C-alpha cells in the first residue's frame, strides 16, 4: 500500500500527466452534475442531502481504496512474474 504514496517526480513534471488528470476531473464533474439535476427532482422537499452525500463519499472512498490496493497487488504479481 505504501507504493501509492511513493511519487515519481519526473513523471509528475510531465505536462501530459496533468492534462490527463484534468480531463478525468472535468469528465467526472460533468457526469456528477448531470446526475444531481436529473435525480434531484425525485427527492422529498425535506430530504437530508448531507447524510446522503456523506454516505456516498464514504462509499466511493472505500471502493477507490480497495481498487487501488487491488491494482497495485496485480501490478506486483505481473512484475514478479517477468
Q: pTM of the predicted model, to two decimals?
A: 0.45
Residues for the chain: how many in total? 82
How do the domains of the chain map onto residue ranges? 49-82
**What pLDDT does 62 receive?**
92
Instruction: List the beta strands (DSSP E) in the chain.
Output: none
CA dihedral 20, 23, 28, 30 (to 10 degrees): 180
Q: Write out the chain's pLDDT in tens, 82 residues.
A: 666 678 788 888 888 888 888 888 888 887 777 777 777 777 777 777 788 888 888 999 999 999 988 888 888 887 777 7
**What pLDDT does 63 receive?**
92
**What pLDDT does 25 receive?**
85
Longest alpha-carbon distance in the chain: 58
Amino acid at each position: 500500500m505504501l507504493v501509492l504514496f511513493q511519487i515519481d517526480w519526473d513523471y509528475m513534471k510531465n505536462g501530459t500527466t496533468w492534462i490527463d488528470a484534468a480531463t478525468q476531473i472535468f469528465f467526472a464533474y460533468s457526469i456528477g452534475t448531470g446526475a444531481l439535476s436529473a435525480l434531484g427532482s425525485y427527492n422529498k422537499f425535506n430530504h437530508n442531502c448531507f447524510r446522503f452525500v456523506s454516505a456516498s463519499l464514504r462509499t466511493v472512498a472505500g471502493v477507490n481504496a480497495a481498487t487501488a490496493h487491488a491494482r497495485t497487488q496485480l501490478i506486483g504479481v505481473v512484475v514478479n512474474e517477468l
